[in-house]
Amino acid sequence: MTKYEQLQEHLKGNQNTWLVTGVAGFIGSNLLEKLLILNQKVVGLDNFDTGHQYNIDQAIEDANEATGKDLSNNFRFVNGDIRELEDCQKACSGVDYVLHQAALGSVPRSIEDPINTNRANIDGFLNMLAASKDANVQRFVYAASSSTYGDHLDLPKVEDKIGNPLSPYAVTKVVNELYAQVFAKTYGFKTIGLRYFNIFGKRQDPNGAYAAVIPKWVAAVLNKENVFINGDGETSRDFCYIDNTVQMNLLAATTDNNEATDQVYNVALNDRTSLNKLYQMIEDRLIQRNTRTRKERANL
């Protein structure tokens, strides 16, 4: 068995309480689903600024279907805002592990609205750190970002070599890592940061001005709409599936390796895909799927 498989078996027989901030979002709702499947108790904190109730509902429904049980009683929702310290304190009460996903994402959004980005991503982060520390949480795992690498162009991206941030959003993520380091050194509070690289998967919102490219293109192909690719399309990115992100969060929260804490880690595939190739892959897969569906219907 892999270490992750062993962890899942262990969690099924040992119930803990986890706080997932941003639980109504894409990554948060996937964490909720997996934790419920593993027989864990989950507290979810969200203010629905960018998240949706249907993500929570779908996560619980999918967990129920996967286990054949009604797991809704293992979930408690706190309608609150990480910018309010009291909301953070309320959510952290009685919690063993914190998976902090709540933030205002998107580089373009941060350029348009740096003030609110700062309030959510720095003030909110500090509130969650302080509330978690005061609640004696065992481990604080937080969503960092590949934007931290800024103007450092070397490949592959190595955790201890970053450049200057290129957006207000990137600044907030650098500050998050600095605060986590300070809390580790000053208070002995255990944290792990996960630098996400272009995460994709189910419940990722294809709508809105700041939608990520994969769900946006999938929706466009399904709806037979035109897709616009910036430049020559040869810009490449590292795309990482949501299940890998969930795995990293759970392993980071529960590791008993003290040397692994108070660090940041890349969450990536370690492979690059051009936008042209990505679009072609999406189009080919969806055309194959639609063709197969038509054949299945014809045989009914």
Residue 297 has what pLDDT?
Answer: 40
Helix (H) or strand (E) holding 126: helix 124-134
Residue 296 has what pLDDT?
Answer: 43
In a shared domain, residues 220 and 135:
no
Cα–Cα–Cα angle for 203, 269, 202, rounded to 5 degrees: 10
In a shared domain, residues 25 and 124:
yes
In a shared domain, residues 83 and 227:
no
Average of per-residue pLDDT values in the chain: 88
Domain of 244: which CATH number? Answer: 3.40.50.720
Residues 198-238 pLDDT 10s: 888 899 887 765 457 777 777 777 777 777 777 766 665 66
The domain in which residue 26 lies consists of: 3-198+238-269
In a shared domain, residues 186 and 294:
no
Residue 223 has what pLDDT?
Answer: 74
Q: How many domains does the chain have?
A: 2
Residues 81-128 pLDDT 10s: 999 999 999 999 999 999 999 999 888 999 999 999 999 999 999 999
Residues 272-293 pLDDT 10s: 666 777 677 777 777 665 544 4
* pTM over cut 0.85: yes
**Cis geometry, peptide bond prior to residue 156 (ω within 30 degrees of 0):** yes
Instruction: Count CA atoms within 13 Å of residue 212 on its CB side.
Output: 18
In a shared domain, residues 130 and 39:
yes
How many Å is the Cα radius of gyration of the chain?
A: 20
In a shared domain, residues 50 and 137:
yes
Q: Please give the Cα distance from 40 to 200 (Å, whole number).
A: 24
In a shared domain, residues 185 and 226:
no
Residue 211 has what pLDDT?
Answer: 55
In a shared domain, residues 219 and 135:
no
Residue in 97, 142, 149, 169 annotated catalytic: 169
Helix (H) or strand (E) holding 174: helix 168-187
The structure tokens 């890349």 sit at 266
pLDDT band at 149 (very low <50, low <70, confident <90, very high): confident
Q: Which two tokens stand for residue 48?
A: 């629905």
Q: Which two tokens stand for residue 251?
A: 């392993």
Are 115 and 76 spatial neighbours (Cβ–Cβ below 8 Å)?
A: no
The four Cα atoms 252, 254, 259, 264 give a dihedral, to 10 degrees, of 20
Are 135 and 91 spatial neighbours (Cβ–Cβ below 8 Å)?
A: no
3-state secondary structure of 142: strand
Whether 196 sits among the annotated catalytic residues: the reply is no
Residue 27 has what pLDDT?
Answer: 96
What are the phi and psi torsion angles at 43 (to 5°)? -105, 130
In a shared domain, residues 113 and 259:
yes
In a shared domain, residues 193 and 223:
no
In a shared domain, residues 18 and 90:
yes
In a shared domain, residues 224 and 252:
no
Q: Which two tokens stand for residue 151?
A: 């103007």
Domain of 221: which CATH number? Answer: 3.90.25.10
